[in-house]
């Protein structure tokens, strides 16, 4: 069954910060800068990308059930600039939940979109692997 048709939500401003959990296996050392960074795969799950709207939550809440994960941030404007769709998707236990969707049938971002979002992101909380 295909995912429901998603529409961009203009109530999420381009300046809104979005947080994404990053699993330790998706953190690598950049060969040029020697700094730790997330892989672009961290921004390209098999379907829509799950994020949290920063103004509606805290880093501690986002990571509460994920003690080994790190937290990365980018803006809704970056996701839109790269062709993504920002959709509020509140859950019963997480009113800050949202999705970043690609425009393909699976809602998945392309490799290029994921890479550009990754390059525009910054750490909120980095737990070294």
**Domains of the chain by residue range:** 17-125
- Note the pTM of the prediction, 2 decimals: 0.92
With 0-12 CB in 10 A as exposed, 13-18 as middle and 19+ as buried, what is 38?
Answer: buried
Q: Which residues of the chain carry a pLDDT beneath 50?
A: 1-2
71-98: per-residue pLDDT in tens?
Answer: 999 999 999 999 999 999 999 999 999 9
């Amino acid at each position: 069954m295909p995912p429901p048709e998603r529409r961009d939500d203009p109530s999420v401003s381009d300046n809104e910060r979005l947080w994404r959990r990053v699993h330790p296996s998706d953190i690598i050392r950049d060969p040029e800068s020697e700094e730790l960074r997330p892989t672009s795969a961290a921004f390209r799950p098999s379907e829509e990308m799950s994020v949290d709207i920063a103004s509606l939550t805290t880093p501690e809440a986002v990571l509460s059930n994920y003690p080994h994960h790190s937290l990365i941030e980018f803006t809704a404007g970056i996701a839109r600039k790269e062709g993504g769709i920002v959709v509020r998707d509140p859950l019963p236990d997480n009113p800050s939940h949202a999705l970043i969707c690609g425009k393909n049938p699976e809602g998945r971002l392309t490799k290029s979109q994921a890479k550009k979002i990754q390059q525009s992101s910054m750490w909120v909380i980095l737990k070294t692997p």
